[in-house]
């Protein structure tokens, strides 16, 4: 197999035209769409129109006339089919961290169970939020961190809440959502799934798996733009009994009655709190619209093809440089990324960026390559491996060994 074979694969790939939905800088190999998705081609004009016509011209009237009031739910409805949810089950507002807090606080209120369970390698903000919340609520609650292969056994009748990331941000390992959700249901344990690294990347079937609560990011695979607000999902089954704990006016049954007492909306709107950031929220619609007409199974298949290709080429050309695969080899157990371990991962990431290949570094030793099949080509994987091989062979990364450690994300 050589580069020409991959060019042929790109030519024949039915998803290749999706790349035209994005604006990508020339000469850059972008493997960090799982930190910040690329710019949708429609975003500059739709944000420009929002700023100039809706804000500037419509002013306050645009909350109604331009539908700002409904954006949080409209964006949620656009995301729903990508995660196996139904219209009315998803709303977009606040950050992922705040959404975890909102759901977890509501689910931990009252009740006699005291164990809050998460995965030991979970994304830090998930753990931090739970740590703070458990401390705030007190009453003997404790946060327990179990390694991924012990999660299932750790869910028991003392468990008040489970919070798990569907895909591990470092390695890309996927948890068995269906199996864990079934055990939670059987024991009456609510579970919140963090879909930051799975929404828009791999098939997610919340409804089919019987998942009641989830949150996720819109600025990674969903291309919603930097810091775009996150989504919260509460299933149709669970929404009726769900009692919000962070109770703001956007979640009120009749927001503009300005009543003295809080009465939650009888829909997913009860998960909203304050005014959503309209500029950032509007871009989420552009980001999600890039999936229009895309079959998620075909997208996932392309993700696996690209990742498998990356791993095969890495075996051939990168292993000798000491890059050790950190992601599962088995495609079914892997999200849409390929990660490697190397003691000098940080310096290598810096060197690659200096050579126009953008990966992510994740402390302490992870070099992470995001696979975004909507806009990534087979040849990009080939070219990336070429660049890594050259940087490692030429030891170009050594120039960055003593570089001050900054966030690479």
Of residues 326 through 385, those in contact with its own copies by CB under 8 A are 353, 358, 360, 362-363
Residues 6+ apart with CB under 8 A from 178: 205, 208, 209
- The reply to whether 194 belongs to the active site is yes
Strand partners, 292: none
Return the structure tokens found at 99.
Answer: 């959404």
In this structure, are residues 231 and 281 in contact, taking their beta carbons and an 8 Å threshold?
Answer: no
CA distance 221 to 210: 23
Catalytic position from the list 21, 74, 183, 220: 220
Of 77, 167, 163, 87, give the one whose Cα is nearest residue 125: 163
| Active-site residue, selected from the candidate residues 32, 94, 194, 212 | 194
Q: Where are the beta strands (DSSP E) in 93-244?
A: 115-119, 142-146, 159-165, 191-194, 213-216, 231-234
Cβ proximity to its own copies, 207 vs 249, nearer residue: 249
List phi, psi (to 5°) of 246. -100, 100
Q: Applying CB under 8 A, which part among 176-184, 274-282, 317-325, 331-339 lies near its own copies? A: 274-282
Q: How far apart are CA 35 and CA 370, in angstroms?
A: 8
d(CA 312, CA 353): 23
Give catalytic status of residue 400 as yes or no. Answer: no
For the segment 63-92, give every residue that binds its own copies (CB under 8 A).
63-64, 68-69
Among the residue ranges 186-194, 231-239, 279-287, 300-308, the one whose residues contact its own copies (CB under 8 A): 279-287
- 258 near its own copies, rule: CB under 8 A: yes
Residue 142 interacts with its own copies (CB under 8 A)? Answer: no
Nearest-approach distance from CB 267 to its own copies, in angstroms: 17
Q: Look up residue 37 and give its DSSP letter.
A: P
Note if 329 is an active site residue.
Answer: no
Residue placing its CB nearer to its own copies in the complex, 25 or 179: 25
Active-site entry in 22, 30, 213, 219 = 219
- Contact between 25 and its own copies by CB under 8 A: the answer reads yes
- Binding-site size for its own copies (CB under 8 A) equals 91
Asked about 220 being catalytic, the answer comes back as yes
Shortest reach from residue 347's CB to its own copies, in Å: 15
Of 73, 74, 362, 368, catalytic: 368
Of 277, 289, 331, 386, the one binding its own copies by CB under 8 A: 277
If the CB atoms of residues 219 and 397 are measured against its own copies, the closer one turns out to be 219
CA quadruple 251, 253, 254, 260: dihedral, nearest 10: -80
Half-sphere exposure of 132 (CA within 13 A, CB side): 11
Q: Which of residues 99-138 bind its own copies (CB under 8 A)?
A: 101, 105, 109, 120, 124-125, 127-129, 131-133, 135-137
Smallest gap from residue 328 Cβ to its own copies (A): 20
Partner residues linked to 143 by β-bridges: 116
Residue 262 vs 298, nearer CB to its own copies:
262
Residues numbered 184 to 243 that lie near its own copies (CB under 8 A) are: 219, 225-230
Q: How far is CA 74 from each of CA 54, 215, 239, rounded to the nearest angstrom?
A: 17, 16, 18
Please choose, out of 73-81, 257-265, 323-331, 336-344, the segment that lies near its own copies by the rule CB under 8 A. 257-265
Buried b (16+ CB within 10 A) or exposed e, 107-118: bbeeeebbbbbb
Tokens of 14: 């039915």
| Catalytic center residues | 123, 194, 219-220, 368
């Amino acid at each position: 197999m050589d580069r020409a074979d991959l060019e042929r694969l790109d030519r024949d790939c039915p998803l290749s035209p999706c790349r035209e939905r994005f604006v990508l800088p020339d000469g850059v190999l972008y493997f960090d769409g799982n930190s910040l998705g690329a710019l949708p081609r429609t975003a500059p004009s739709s944000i420009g129109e929002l700023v100039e016509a809706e804000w500037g011209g419509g002013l306050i009237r645009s909350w109604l006339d331009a539908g700002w009031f409904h954006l949080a739910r409209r964006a949620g409805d656009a995301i729903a089919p990508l995660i196996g949810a139904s219209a009315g089950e998803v709303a977009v507002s606040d950050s992922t961290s705040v959404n975890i807090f909102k759901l977890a606080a509501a689910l931990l209120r009252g009740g006699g169970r005291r164990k809050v369970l998460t995965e030991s390698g979970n994304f830090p903000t998930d753990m931090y939020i739970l740590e703070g919340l458990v401390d705030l609520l007190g009453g003997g609650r404790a946060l327990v961190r179990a390694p991924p292969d012990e999660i299932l056994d750790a869910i028991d009748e003392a468990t008040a809440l489970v919070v798990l990331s569907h895909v591990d941000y470092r390695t890309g390992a996927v948890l068995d959502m269906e199996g864990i959700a079934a055990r939670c249901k059987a024991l009456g344990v609510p579970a919140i799934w963090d879909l930051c690294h799975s929404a828009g990347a791999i098939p997610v079937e919340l409804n089919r798996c019987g998942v009641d609560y989830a949150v996720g990011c819109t600025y990674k695979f969903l291309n919603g733009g930097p810091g775009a607000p996150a989504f919260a999902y509460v299933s149709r089954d669970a929404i009726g009994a769900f009692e919000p704990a962070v109770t703001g006016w956007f979640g009120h049954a009749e927001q503009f009655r300005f009543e003295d007492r809080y009465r939650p909306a009888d829909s997913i709107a009860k998960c909203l709190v304050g005014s959503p950031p309209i500029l950032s929220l509007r871009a989420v619609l552009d980001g999600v619209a890039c999936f229009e007409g895309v079959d998620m199974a075909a997208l996932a298949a392309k993700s696996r093809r690209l990742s498998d290709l990356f791993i095969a080429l890495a075996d051939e050309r990168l292993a000798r440089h000491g890059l050790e695969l950190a992601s599962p080899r088995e495609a079914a157990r892997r999200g849409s990324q390929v990660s490697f371990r190397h003691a000098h991962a940080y310096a290598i990431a810096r060197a690659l960026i200096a050579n126009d290949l953008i990966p992510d570094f994740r402390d302490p030793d992870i070099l992470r390559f995001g696979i975004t099949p909507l806009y990534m080509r087979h040849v990009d994987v080939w070219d990336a491996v070429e660049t890594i091989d050259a940087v490692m062979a030429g030891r170009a990364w050594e120039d960055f060994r003593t570089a001050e450690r900054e966030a690479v994300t």
